[in-house]
Amino acid sequence: MDVSRPGKGRLRVAVTGASGEYGKLLLPRLERDPDVESILVLDVARPEGAKVEFHQVDLTRHDAESELTDALAERPVDALYHLAFLFGPIRNGSLAHELEVIGTMNVLTAAGRARLPRLVVPSMTAVYGARGNNPALLREESPLQGCPHSRFVTDKVEVEGQVRAFRERHPEMRVLVLRFAPVLGPTIENPVTRLLTRTSVVPTLLGFDPLWQGLHEEDAGRALHLSLRADVSGEFNIVGRGVLPLSGLIRQAGARPLPLPGPLFRGALHALDVVGADTLPVALLDYIHYSWVADGARAETALGFIPFHHVRDAAAALKRS
């Protein structure tokens, strides 16, 4: 089926991680899309939805690959959104690795066997890493330097390597990786939203005020939806309009930046990390230190994605949540 030119009620879409943050952004759009006939949810829990067909799959289990293969054989689909990814690190790093890296391996194996026309996988602009020698704009071909002291980011880089190798083995498929800037909005909880909203004063590093991007949750959902029909493959930076210095982002969210010298700053981050378990990873240190601004031009040209919201509006939405 040519998914780039669908007829009404023709598209069958599968989604892993439908109950996660990415899934919650996408599923309502698929439900409203008149071209989408059914949504095969491959997850541990069934979400609400008139178009939902549910097949229970736990990507951390040893039988996940066979469950996925059977489900896709029984109910062929035109596109698979693999959205079973965390928005932020958890204390159980082994479980996170099992879900994201091993889970992706199982999904890719099943997708290859099913010969799916299209696969969409989310990632993050954090995979580029925050370095003092970063270019002004990080383009999709920029190296993925990641964050060596963050297993969360390292897993994302590893997943991208898996998907890239899969795309090379399956040139007949449309395989899209969406690298999202930090997603902000009233329904989103991730390390960045927690950094901006948990306290009225946010520690920053004295002498450094890097440029940050942010993506409103509505724009994130729209980018996922646009990927259903885009006649392209590859990686795409999905970013909001404009940039703000970190201090400006904090103020837009209704908090106040508190610049601290290095040792005190690290201590403050450690304290926040301990107080809330998974509330704020110390790995944010790099991203509070240096800029990591991604170029969204390719997504505009190839996907037709133009963000509606400026980063300042995305941050201000946190203040109202």
pLDDT score of 277: 37
pLDDT score of 203: 87
pLDDT score of 280: 59
Written as one string, the DSSP assignment of 136-160 is SSB-TTS-----TT-HHHHHHHHHH
Rounded CA-CA distance 188/40 in Å is: 24
**CA-angle at 266, arms to 214 and 258, nearest 5°:** 60
pLDDT score of 5: 47
Rounded CA-CA distance 281/267 in Å is: 12
Residues of the chain with pLDDT under 50: 1, 5, 274-279
pLDDT score of 150: 87
- Closest listed residue to residue 175, CA positions, set 100, 87, 108, 86: 108
pLDDT score of 129: 96
φ, ψ for residue 195 (rounded to 5)? Answer: -55, -40
pLDDT score of 298: 98
- DSSP element (H, E) containing 67: helix 64-74
Rounded CA-CA distance 39/80 in Å is: 10
Q: What is the pLDDT of residues 167-210, one digit of tens each?
A: 999 999 999 999 999 999 999 988 899 888 888 888 899 999 99
> Which domains, from first to last, does the chain contain?
11-320 (3.40.50.720)
- Compute the residue count for the chain: 321
Amino acid (1-letter code) at residue 74 = E
Token duo for residue 185? 């909005």
Residue 259 burial class via C-beta count within 10 angstroms: exposed 0-12, middle 13-18, buried 19 and up: middle
φ, ψ for residue 211 (rounded to 5)? Answer: -75, 135
Residues 6+ apart with CB under 8 A from 92: none
Amino acid (1-letter code) at residue 186 = P
DSSP-derived letter for residue 182 is: P
Do 130 and 286 meet the contact criterion of CB atoms below 8 Å apart? yes
Residues 6+ apart with CB under 8 A from 274: none
This prediction has a pTM of 0.94
φ, ψ for residue 56 (rounded to 5)? Answer: -75, 125
Helix 217-226 with 21-32: angle, nearest 10 deg: 60
